[in-house]
Structure 1
Amino acid sequence: MTKKIADFFALEGNYPDLDAEGAVARLSQAIQCRTINYADHSLTDYSEFDKLHAHMKASYPHIMRAGVFERLGHHAVLITLPGSDETLRPCLYMSHQDVVPVVEGTEQDWTYPAFSGAVADGFIWGRGTLDIKNQVFGVLEAAEYLLARGRTFRRTAYLAFGDDEETLNTGALAISDHLKAQGVTLEFVLDEGGGKIESGAAFGAPDLSIAQVDLMEKGYADLELTVRSIGGHSSRPYGGTSLTHLACAIADIVRSPFPVRLNPAMMGAFETLAPYITAEPLKTLTRDVRANADAIAAYCYQSPALFPFVTTTIAPTVIQGSSRACNVMPQDMQAVINLRLADGDTVENVMAHCRAAVQDPTVELRYQQANDPSATARRDGYGYRTVVDSMRRYYPDVVFVPSMTVGATDAHQYEQICDTCLRCSPFMVEPEEAASGVHGTNERILVRAYLQGIRVLIDLMEHANL
């Protein structure tokens, strides 16, 4: 794809009275709040979240007058903008306030300091500009724009911002439980996801530019393996060291792949792309996606870009417990394998699969944490159609494709009150920028991209809420 991201933007002249300079300044100030949330809450500086909440309240007076601002859980935020038509199910626009820390030792690698919120070279710089205070504040900008111009909401809108998406997901769950207790069911949820325009080459459509609308997310598991030993001198390794047993167990699991399947979300992707696919064998196979689902899945499994979409992945990530001395056998050792569970697998059957793969009875297996894959959102109803229509208006040369995220978001926490949880950010970025900036160094968003995302959200709210 030779086009730059801004080349895909349309209707940038819409909403000419949008306070572009103010919107950029407000996001910049939000980036300066160091809202890093740790799994161990004793390490979290919640005064930074308090500063962010004060910034929200001061910056969006029409939202604060028209709506109800609540802090739930620890520091999750729910803003209710009541609609006049109680027969319409509400919709929920969500994102998260927390960001990941900067990797120690890389601070000097940033062009501008990570929490400076610098506005320079056509970008807003800093941790959270892509993941994902841009969406928190973009949602607020869109709602404030409409309310400040006297527009009234027919459909209730919830603006929901978790405080620990990067760690425990308890903030989003607190909001979801709060709404469930009130008997609320939602028409749709819009969360982060996608956010890139990229070539369709991996799908056999090299002449196409695509963006994902993620309907589901894979499950997540950290599988801990432990081997116990008294250690000793390395000249007497009878029966193998604890490291030997641990390494063999890791290899056993890695060499026992999980089933390969084309799930409903990916079937939708190939059905949507079928008219544009020119490369074989996918051109022939996608003439009947459902009949050829196994063959398409097998093709995807051999593709570095597509294999995470069709199977549970296995990634050994941690090993610890060995001695620093080369002639000392280790005592107790642990390793962690990170697994991302495909649709069709569960926490229980993945554990059974791994136990069966490990032939060594001395190896202990347990989950540090684990959750099943999410449900798959509907794409045949009002929510999907309305969101995609707004996206298409502002990115008309892009084909929006139902898909799935191989990572994790807060959206799955809302499945108990919504059957259309969509992960599709309107803030578009170059794929290379996303790869290097999200959780990395020099995270930044193009000013034009931030403003374009706000326009999409204003348009979506006009069609869904007014």
Structure 2
Amino acid sequence: MKRLFLLLLLGICLLAGVLVTRALGYSSRQPTPEEAAPFSLDADAAAKRLAGALRLKTLAASEGRPAEDAAFVALHDYLREHFPRVHAELRREPQGAHSVLYTWPGTDASLKPVLVMGHLDVVPVEPGTEGGWTRPPFSGDIADGYVWGRGALDDKGSVLAILEAVEALLASGDRPRRTVLLAFGGDEEVGGHEGAEAMAKLLRERGVTLESVLDEGGMMLTGTVPGVKAPVALVGVAEKGMVSAELVVAGEGGHSSMPPSQTAVGVLSRAVVRLEEEPMPARLRGGSRALFDFVGPEMPFGMRLVFANLWLFEPLVVRQLTAQPSTNAAVRTTTAATMFEGSVKDNVLPSRARAVVNFRVLPGDTVEGVLEHVRRVVDDSRVKVGVMGFQSEPSPVSRTDTEAWSVLQRSIRQVFPEALVAPYLMVGATDARHFTGLSDSVYRFMPLRLEREDLARLHGRDERVSVQGYASAVRFYAQYLRNATH
């Protein structure tokens, strides 16, 4: 017994030694901030140019509603007027009705181009909520140190900042060695099929492969990673796919005074409950795992010990992540029942009941795998399973061991030296997914620092960007283009 106890103690000591050694060797993956190149910008003038663009209600066509064609025409005219060097020196190719591709030729045609993206369309304001905005949603007001209006964050702020950076670089006589492509879609909020998808197809037809792609995506947030006090610049290296399963049950109909033991609605309800009670398995992998690889070394020792030894502690970490909706979405294909239809009258039995369950597909899972999961869990021949609307597979996970990643990480640290840079998984969709296959370095990042409460402004009320924050975004794009093209 004593010998067994000693062996157990020895095993514990060896395990503790391994854990501590790995934690002590868990070194930082953040580059030392370098000094950014000099860059001159009139922040107030840049803010005014953004404000003018926000006044144009560029809504893409959606669900029977036509696009605001006149607003898109006005926006393109506005960009020509306010960024004259861009339009004089870059090749401009309209794509579809509202999108545009710019080419800034490099001096070395043997180098792969870099692509920088954004989108010109915005989401509509929910009718009846306009009065709840501090400033009218399409006012483009500049007040209290902010530029207010729909699109300030998503995504005219990015587009205008990119154009400001290129205009300034052209004014300084900058000539990139590597060709720069600017792709601005006009329908990202409704899938990007006529904009980004068409531009990606055009590049494929031309035989173009890209050094890297940079689109909207993660931002700099404080307090999002436990144990990390510094703002974290979240760079999306992948995004989830999507599929909506349609569940339909046929019933006999008739008067509700003589119901069967279970109506079509009852059968369907049980199926939905089963799906909610048995979600797809959670896994810490891809962009979500890479996030902790990059921020783990910056944590206090106790947490560093955990993340340096995920071979042992991963089940514990996953359990913690699945406890909250925001982090649960990062580690599993999520299940969301969103629509339910039954009878048209309270005293009529439904002859047909229908539900829609939306799944956001984790990289590594597939759309077909999700549908197989639905059929297996529901396990009821009375429930017919189909697919509703748009579907997409999850994107590949972009690499973080390439020169393109190093350029992006270094650029962020030059302009925002206080920020830690880390990859992560985007749970929403961006236009970047259409460029899968053109580069293994597809990144999603918006150079803006937000507080947690600001996230509700995305697609919500009081969308705004600070004047100084917007100026920093312009400086970032200028620095990034210098680093990526020279």
In structure 1, give the amino acid aligned to 2:470.
Y
Distance 1:279 1:370, change over 3 A: farther
Aligned counterpart, 2:463: 443
Query: Could you tell me which residue of structure 2 aligns to residue 430 of structure 1?
Result: 451
Displacement of 1:21 in angstroms is 2.6
Once the two structures are superposed, residues 375-411 of structure 1 have per-residue CA deviations (whole angstroms, 9 ceiling, x without a partner) of 0111111111111111111221221111111111111
Question: Whole-Å Cα distance in 1 between the matches of residues 399 and 177 of structure 2?
Answer: 23
Q: State the secondary structure of the residue aligned to 1:36.
A: coil
Write the distance in 2 (CA, Å) between the matches of 1:13 and 1:154: 17
Q: Return the offset for 1:51.
A: 1.2
Amino acid across the alignment from 2:340: I
Match for 1:384 among 399, 405, 428? 405
Paired with 1:345 and 1:70, the residues of 2 have a C-alpha distance of: 37
- Contact 2:220–2:231 under 8 Å retained in 1: no
Contact 2:116–2:215 (CA<8 Å) still a contact in 1?
yes
Of 166, 173, 185, which aligns to 2:209? 185
Compared with structure 1, are the counterparts of its residues 13 and 94 closer, same or farther at alpha carbon in structure 2 (3 Å cutoff)?
closer
Q: Is the 8 A contact 1:267 1:293 kept in 2?
A: no
On the 8 A contact 2:43/2:468 being kept in 1, the answer is no
Match of 1:337 in 2: 357
Q: CA deviation at 1:344?
A: 1.4
**Is the contact made by 1:39 and 1:168 (CA closer than 8 Å) also made in structure 2?**
no
Residues 94 and 159 in structure 1, CA contact (< 8 A), matched pair in contact too: yes
Deviation at 1:240, TM superposition (A): 1.8
Q: Deviations over 1:151-193 (max 9, x none)?
A: 1121111110111111122111101111111111111111111
TM-aligned CA deviation for residue 14 of structure 1: 4.9
- Shifted more, 298-307 versus 343-352: the winner is 298-307
Structure 2: distance between partners of 1:335 and 1:448: 47
Match of 1:348 among 368, 371, 374: 368
Aligned residue runs from structure 1 range 191-210, under 5 A:
191-202=215-226, 205-210=227-232
Match of 2:385, SS state, is strand
Provide the rounded CA distance (Å) in 2 between the counterparts of 1:304 and 1:298: 12
Which stretch of structure 1 is more off in the superposition, 259-268 or 441-450?
A: 259-268
Q: Scaled by the length of structure 1, what TM-score is found?
A: 0.92
Q: Distance in 1 between matches of 2:111 and 2:93?
A: 22
Identity of aligned residues (%): 35
Does residue 310 (structure 1) correspond to residue 331 (structure 2)? The answer is yes
**What is aligned with 1:263?**
285
Task: State TM-score, norm by structure 2.
Answer: 0.88
Deviations 1:181-230, CA, capped at 9 Å, x for gaps: 1111111111111113222544xx24343221110001111222222334
Distance 2:281 2:155 in 1: 33
What does 1:270-281 correspond to in 2, within 5 Å? 270-278=292-300
Given that residues 35 and 45 in structure 1 are in contact (C-alpha distance below 8 angstroms), is that contact kept between their aligned partners in structure 2?
A: yes
Match of 2:15 in 1: none
Q: Is the 8 A contact 1:208 1:276 kept in 2?
A: no
The structure 2 residue matched to 1:174, chosen from 186, 192, 198, is 198
Query: Kindly tell me: are residues 108 and 308 of structure 1, through their superposed partners in 2, closer, same or farther at Cα, counting changes over 3 Å?
Result: same
Corresponding residue for residue 7 of structure 1: none
2:395 corresponds in structure 1 to 374
**Per-residue Cα deviation, 1:57-82 (whole angstroms, up to 9, x for no partner):** 11111111111111113322101111
Answer whether contact 1:14 1:455 (CA < 8 A) is retained: no
Whether 1:25 and 2:45 are equivalent positions in the alignment is no
Q: Is the 8 A contact 1:199 1:206 kept in 2?
A: yes
Q: How does 1:228-307 map to 2 (within 5 A)?
A: 228-278=250-300, 282-290=303-311, 292-307=313-328
Cα distance in 1 for partners of 2:392, 2:401 equals 27
Shift of 1:250: 0.8
What runs of 5+ residues in structure 2 fail to find an aligned partner? 1-33
Supply the AA of the counterpart residue of 2:293.
Answer: E
- More deviation, 291-300/442-451: 291-300
Count of residue pairs the alignment pairs up? 452
Residue 438 of structure 1: CA displacement?
Answer: 0.5
Q: Which moved more, 1:257-266 or 1:441-450?
A: 257-266
1:426 is aligned with what amino acid? P
Asked if the contact 1:427–1:453 (Cα under 8 Å) also holds between the matched residues in 2, the reply is yes
Equivalent residue letter for 1:408: A
Confirm or deny: 8 A CA contact 2:61 2:68 kept in the other structure: no
Match of 1:54 in 2: 77
Tell me, in whole angstroms, the C-alpha distance in 2 between the residues paired with 1:375 and 1:89. 20
CA distance in 2, matches of 1:166, 1:310: 25
Counterpart CA distance in 2 for 1:294 and 1:440 is 35
Counterpart in 1 of 2:153?
Answer: 130
Superposed displacement of residue 427, structure 1: 2.2
Q: Tell me what 2:238 maps to.
A: 216
Farther-moved stretch of structure 1 (43-52 vs 82-91): 43-52
1:447: how far off?
0.8
Q: Is the 8 A contact 1:267 1:290 kept in 2?
A: no
The answer to whether the 8 Å contact 1:139/1:457 transfers is: yes
Q: Does the CA contact (< 8 Å) of 2:220 and 2:447 recur in 1?
A: no
For 2:69 and 2:266, how far apart are their aligned partners in 1? Answer: 44
Mapped to 1, the partners of 2:192 and 2:385 lie a distance apart of 24
Decide whether the 8 Å contact of 2:60 with 2:122 is kept in 1. Answer: yes
**What's 2:474 paired with?**
454
1:43-192 equivalences under 5 Å are 43-170=66-193, 171-192=195-216
Partner of 1:363: 383
Residues 447 and 339 (structure 1), Cα distance of their counterparts in 2 relative to 1, 3 Å cut: same
1:269 positional shift? 1.4
Partner of 2:470: helix, strand, or coil? helix
Task: Tell me if structure 1 keeps the 8 A contact 2:228–2:295.
Answer: no
